[in-house]
Chain A
Amino acid sequence: VHVIRVGQDAVLVEVADAATALDLALWARDRLAVREVVPAARTVLLDGLARPAEVSEELAGWTPGEGLAEEGDPVDVAVHYDGPDLAVVAEAWGIAAEQVPERHAEAQYVVAFCGFAPGFSYLTAREGDGPVPPPVPRRDSPRSRVEPGSVGLAGPFTGIYPTASPGGWQLIGRTDAPLWRPDREPPALLPPGTRVRFVPA
C-alpha cells in the first residue's frame, strides 16, 4: 500500500483495486481512531485521524483478507430485468439480450463502496465465487433523468439509483428494494462490505 498525506489529519491509501480497498476499509473501521473511512475504486480515505503521523505503522498491522473475513449474510435484491440498455450490454458481453439477466444474476456481488449520492452502492462481482461478467462502457451521453431503483452497469460495477438523478450507466432493470431510508439504522440498505445476490423477479 502507498500512503499519501492529505491535509492535516487525513491520508489516502492507494491499493490495487476495489476489492482490496474494501478489505482495508473494513479492517480500518474497527481498529483505527478515525472519523471517516471512505473506500473507493483504488483508494481508502482515512479522514479525521487521531494520530496521522503513525498511520503507516498502524496499517502495517493489516493482513490482506482480514477485513473481508468479517462479512455478514447476503442480501437478496429482486430485479425486473427490463432495462432499455439490455442490447448494449449483450453486445459488450458477446451474448444475446435474453441471456443478460441470467448472466448478471449468476455472479455473486459485494458492495465495494458508496458514492455519487447517499445510498448509491458500487457492487463488484466476486472473483473465485462464480463467473465475473466483463466490463461495460458508460453511455456516451448521460440520461438527464434515471428513475429510482434503476439497476445499471458501468465498467466493472453494478449500481442501483436510490433516488432520481441524471446518470450515464447502462440500465438493465429495476428493483423495489428500499435502498435509502434516513430513519433506518444503517440508512443504506447496501453499505460497503454487503454481499448481494440479484434475483430475477
Chain B
Amino acid sequence: MSLVVLDAGALTTVQDPGRCGWAHLGVPRAGPLDMPAAALANRVVGNPEGAAVLETTMTGLAFRARRGHWFAVTGARCEVRVDGHADAHGAAVWAPAGAEVRVGRALTGVRSYVAVAGGIDVAPVLGSRATDTLAWVGPPRVVDGAELPVGTPTGPPQPHDTPRPRPPGPLHVDPGPRVDWFGADALRRLCATAYTVGADSNRIGLRLKGAPLQRVRDGELASEGMVLGSVQVPPDGQPVVFLADHPVTGGYPVVAVVRVADLHRCAQLRPGEDVRFTPAPPPGGTAPAPGR
C-alpha cells in the first residue's frame, strides 16, 4: 500500500517524534511542530501515537491511494475532501481505493497533520522517519509525484477522540542560561510587551519582532548547546524561539526557555500574529496550565 502525492503544497514533510541521542553529532531532533495534533491524528486512525504522519504548511496537500484506507486530518483547520466531497476535520475518514484526497489551505493556524492507518512507512534514518529541514537529515521532503509507502494498520479507527482545546494566553517561560546578559529585569521586559511573528519563521525557529532586548555586556558567547524552546537573542535584539529543527549549538545568548508543553502553539502562529510571554511558576509553585 502506498500514497501517490498529487500536490505537495508549500512544504510537506514526513514527521514522527524525532531522533534523540544524536545532538552531539550536530543532528537536530526534528518531529512534528504541533506534537499533540500529530498524536491525535494517529490515535483517531488507530495508529500508535508515534507513527509517522505528514505535516503540511499553509497550503495543504493532495494524494491518492490505490487501496481504500482510513485517514485523519488534525492541526490547522482546513477543508478535507474525498473525491470532491467535504468530509470531517479531526475524525477518521474512509477514502476508497483510487479516491483523491485533498487537504485544503489552512483556514486558521499553519500546519495540518495527515495520519493514515498503518503510518507513513518510509525508511527511517538514524532511527526516525522525521525530516529535519535544517540539515535535511531524514526522509526527503515530500514532492509532487512522490510515492509514500504505508504500513499495515494495527488497530481500528477511534471515533470518540476529539481535539483538546488550545489554552489561550501567553507562552510560559523559564529564565534562560544567559538571562544575565540582558540586565537584571530581562525576563520582566520580555514578558512586558507583545511580539509579532515574522514571515521568516519556519520549523527551525519562530522569529519575533518587537521591543529589542539589549545586551548589557560586551563580548561574544562561545557556541554552546541549545535546548528546544530556547529564546535566543541575536545582536539585533529580536528574539527567536527555537523549534524542532533548531541547530544543536548556537553562539547567541538565550534569555529564556519556553515550556515544552506550550511549544506546539508556536506551530500554529501565523506571520503577523502577536504572541506574549509570561514567567512560568517556579518548581514547587502552581503548575502551569497543561498545554494540550
Contact = CB atoms under 8 A, between A and B. Distances in A.
Interface of A: 4-8, 10, 12, 25, 35-45, 47-48, 53, 113-120, 182, 186-188, 191-192
7 contacts: A6-B257, A38-B23, A40-B225, A44-B225, A47-B225, A115-B249, A182-B126
A132 B63 CA distance: 58
B148 to A, nearest CB: 19
Contacts of B223: 40-41, 115
Contact of B24 (A4, A7, A25, A41): A25
Contacts of A53: 283
Given A118-B137, A187-B126, A6 B176 contact: yes
B24 A113 contact: yes
B125 interface: yes
Contacts of B229: 7
Nearest to A38: B225
B260 A191 contact: no
A192 B24 contact: yes
Nearest to A122: B223
B210 to A, nearest CB: 22
Most A CB within 10 A of own CB, among B25, B27, B125, B248: B25
Contacts of B137: 118, 182
B224 A188 contact: no
Interface of B: 20-27, 125-126, 135, 137, 174, 176-177, 222-227, 229-230, 247-249, 254, 257, 259-260, 283
B224 A10 contact: no
A45 B25 contact: no
B135 A7 contact: no
A140 to B, nearest CB: 15
Given A7-B259, A8-B260, A43 B222 contact: yes
B26 A116 contact: yes
Interface of B is mostly: loop
Contacts of B176: 6
Most B CB within 10 A of own CB, among A6, A36, A38, A192: A6
Contacts of B24: 25, 36-39, 113-114, 191-192
Contact of B249 (A7, A37, A38): A38
Nearest to B179: A4
A118 B174 CA distance: 29
Given A8-B174, A8-B260, A118 B222 contact: no
B26 A45 contact: no
A36 B20 contact: yes
A104 B287 CA distance: 55
A12 B23 contact: no
B25 A114 contact: yes
A35 B21 CA distance: 6
B25 A119 contact: yes
A123 to B, nearest CB: 14
Contacts of A4: 177
Nearest to A165: B135
Contacts of A40: 222-225, 249
B287 to A, nearest CB: 11
Contacts of B249: 38, 40, 113, 115-116
Contacts of A8: 174, 259-260
Contact of B226 (A45, A48, A120): A45
Nearest to B225: A45
A33 B141 CA distance: 34
B174 A7 contact: yes
A100 to B, nearest CB: 26
